[in-house]
Chains A and B, each alone.
Chain A
Amino acid sequence: MDETHGAEQAAHGADGGLPNPMHQFEIERLIPLKLFGIDASFTNSALFMVIAAFLITVFTIVAMRRRALVPSRLQSVAEMSYEFVHNMVRDNVGTDGMKYFPFVFTLFMFVLALNMLGMVPYSFTVTSHIIVTFALAAFIFIAVTVIGFVKHGPKFLKFFVPDGVPFVMLPLLVVIEVISYLTRPLSLSVRLFANMMAGHTMLKVFGAFVVALGVLGGWAALGFMVAFTGLEILVAFLQAYVFAILTCIYLNDALHMHH
């Protein structure tokens, strides 16, 4: 009881102060669940992932139900997103990378749906949690490494050996290359997480300014909010795009072995 009261205060500002902009990122257990000593509760984060997966499935099924030669609006949106990712994979990985298209498409749509759902008022932005983006990035990283080793065998290790380097320099450079390879999941996940979290915090802070400044002074902040919301929608799309295109670039590295 006390806890909910505290959360309420945090959301609406204690003692009439500004609301806490970080409150929106709090994880709530909707259905508490313990599995083998691990807290596997169904949280608001999980709920929004389920909603995203559900929306994407419904969207693609409904949009492609009629398969008209002259597409309806919904169908052309579905076709556009398909073509968008299709071209992205073809241009960045090549035709032999097309077998990974379903994966990249799913990833792009999932991240895009999560980012866009986050723009809905009162919703929860799953991608503003680094553990979520890191799990996605770590999965991509492991998958890409496995693909590289499956395709090239031990020769994939040559990926870490730069060309035309004096022999004495090799141990140093290989270590640096390996570290640079290991930074991939971190920079991939931090980029998405930082963009989403910074954007949503800014939105909350300026939203609070609108209320705090009132009818007289709030208009400037409100105008900024409107513009910033537009920008945030762009960022939501752009970050999904960046996430997908970097996956393509990493896949390309693993398949064709050049930087």
Chain B
Amino acid sequence: MGQALKLSTEMIAGVAVGGFIGWSLDRWLGTAPALMVLFLFLGGAAGIISVVRSAQRRQAEAGPLPGKDLPADDDE
């Protein structure tokens, strides 16, 4: 449950921050609601990126999947 909550907060945070940025820009530039709509979508994309990244990180921590235990490419 903790993991699911973590991933869903990241998704929601993406949309919320995107929406907030769009809303603030709208207020500043007087273009309501165009930018808010645009940034809601961009925020959703950002949320998906964060979710994928944290899932990848999680998977890296858990170790390779069975049958996929070839040496991972290490870009250190």
Contacts and interface: CB of A to CB of B under 8 A. Distances in A.
B69 interface: no
A141 to B, nearest CB: 12
A183 B46 contact: yes
A176 B45 contact: yes
B37 interface: no
Interface stretch (A5-13, A57-65, A188-196, A201-209): A188-196
A187 B13 contact: yes
B14 A179 contact: yes
Nearest to A191: B9
Q: DSSP majority for the B interface? A: helix
A27 interface: no
Interface in B3-55: 5-6, 9-10, 12-14, 16-18, 21, 39, 42-43, 45-47, 49-50, 53
Given A186-B16, A191-B5, A194-B5, A177 B46 contact: yes
A245 to B, nearest CB: 10
Contact of A176 (B2, B13, B16, B42): B42
A92 B41 CA distance: 32
Contact of B49 (A177, A186, A195, A258): A177
Nearest to B57: A249
A175 B18 CA distance: 10
B21 A183 contact: no
A259 interface: yes
A86 B45 CA distance: 35
Contacts, number: 57
Interface in A139-175: 172, 175
A194 B42 contact: no
A175 B22 CA distance: 12
B64 to A, nearest CB: 18
Contacts of A40: none
Nearest to A94: B76
B75 interface: yes
Interface in A209-251: 235, 238, 242, 249
Nearest to A234: B2
Contact of B14 (A175, A183, A249, A259): A183
A179 B6 CA distance: 18
B46 A176 contact: yes
Contact of B42 (A179, A242, A249, A258): A179
Contact of A183 (B2, B5, B13, B75): B13
Contact of A186 (B5, B6, B13): B13
A30 interface: no
A236 to B, nearest CB: 12
Contacts of A95: none
10 contacts: A177-B49, A179-B43, A180-B46, A180-B50, A186-B17, A187-B9, A187-B13, A191-B5, A194-B5, A195-B5
Given A176-B42, A183-B10, 8 more contacts: A179-B42, A179-B45, A183-B43, A183-B50, A190-B13, A191-B5, A195-B2, A259-B53
